[in-house]
Amino acid sequence: MKQNNIIKKVREESPLIHHITNYVTVNDCANITLAFGASPVMAHCIDEVEEMVSISSALVLNIGTIQSSSIEAFIKAGKKAISLGKPVIFDPVGCGASKLRSDVSKAIINEVKPSVIKGNMAEIKHLLFNKSNMKGVDSEESMKDAEKISVELALKTNAVVVTTGKVDYITDGKRIAAVSNGTSMLSKITGTGCMLNSIIASCCSVNNDYLVSSAVATSAMGICGETAEKNLNINEGSGTFRYRLIDAFYFIDDEKINKSGRIKIV
């Protein structure tokens, strides 16, 4: 898959990535964005989201710590971004865990029409079938039929769908990329999914083939996770892994993606 020096472009352009995101992981999202070469802004207030979107290159919407006050901001910011031709990356965190999360996810998909939808298997399955197995905001779904379900949701929503798991599937409904980079250590810290949203948004902001951009971003997360784990000393665990993950993003480049990326078009 030709990836067109996406990371180099991010570093050259330093796109501003607007996040309306999970307050549990907001600091990690900001730091991973900076390490990758982009610039983060975390603006949630409904009175400024349209203005902030106007000067940004991409928008991340993450409902991980959803509040009543943020729902209108999601819709308002998302519509503004799409109207300006800017990519919107939507993470429907735990959308099958409560009626509120399900309703807000549907509203964002129907009213905003996001460019990329990224979720675990349970979240993607819930968006398509309105049912799934959740444990809090975590997935208890197997990856069975992940390709088929991802394609169906992509066709239904006209978005690129990124379904994360042991193998990550990225599809626009016609093309499917399978990414097999990664490590189980990525599931031992909070927020790697949220951080991935930031990396996808950064890549999409400089390359409008959102499938390719999402595949590169997803592979980069896996490669950086592998690098962070490899660099752990014997007495270092998940806390150090978190910092080493950010360090790995500081040094990731297109050559590493071309050399170590396990991206397969299926």
What domains, with CATH codes, occur in the chain? Answer: 6-265 (3.40.1190.20)
Three-state secondary structure of 63-97:
CCCCCHHHHHHHHHHHHHHHHCCCCEEEECCCCCC
Q: How many residues are present in the chain? A: 266
Rounded CA gap, 29 and 131, in Å? 29
Rounded CA gap, 193 and 185, in Å? 13
The SS3 assignment for 40 reads strand
Rounded CA gap, 16 and 33, in Å? 9
pTM: 0.94
What values do phi and psi take at 9, rounded to 5?
-65, -40
What per-residue confidence (pLDDT) applies to 3?
73
Helix axes 121-129, 99-107, angle to 10 degrees: 70
**Token duo for residue 98:** 């409560």
Helix axes 6-13, 192-206, angle to 10 degrees: 80
**Token duo for residue 24:** 């549990």
Q: Which residues contact 2 (CB under 8 A, 6 or more apart)?
A: 212
What values do phi and psi take at 47, rounded to 5?
-75, -10
What per-residue confidence (pLDDT) applies to 220?
98
What per-residue confidence (pLDDT) applies to 142?
60
Q: Are 217 and 254 in contact (CB under 8 A)?
A: no
The SS3 assignment for 38 reads coil
Q: Which residues contact 125 (CB under 8 A, 6 or more apart)?
A: 96, 131, 132, 141, 149
Q: What is the pLDDT along the chain (266 residues), one digit of tens a residue?
A: 667 799 999 999 999 999 999 999 999 999 999 999 999 999 999 999 999 999 999 999 999 999 888 899 999 999 999 999 999 999 999 998 889 999 999 999 999 999 999 999 999 999 998 765 545 444 455 677 899 999 999 999 999 999 999 999 999 999 999 999 999 999 999 999 999 999 999 999 999 999 999 999 999 999 999 999 999 999 999 999 999 999 999 999 999 999 999 999 87
CA dihedral 10, 86, 242, 263 (to 10 degrees): -70
What per-residue confidence (pLDDT) applies to 20?
96
Quickly count: other Cβ atoms within 10 Å of residue 19's Cβ: 27
Rounded CA gap, 67 and 133, in Å? 23
Q: Which residues contact 130 (CB under 8 A, 6 or more apart)?
A: 102
**Token duo for residue 12:** 């050259």
Kind of pairing between the strands at 168-171 and 176-179:
antiparallel
**Token duo for residue 168:** 């990550």
Rounded CA gap, 147 and 72, in Å? 32
What per-residue confidence (pLDDT) applies to 88?
98
Kind of pairing between the strands at 138-139 and 134-135:
antiparallel
What per-residue confidence (pLDDT) applies to 232?
94
What per-residue confidence (pLDDT) applies to 265?
84
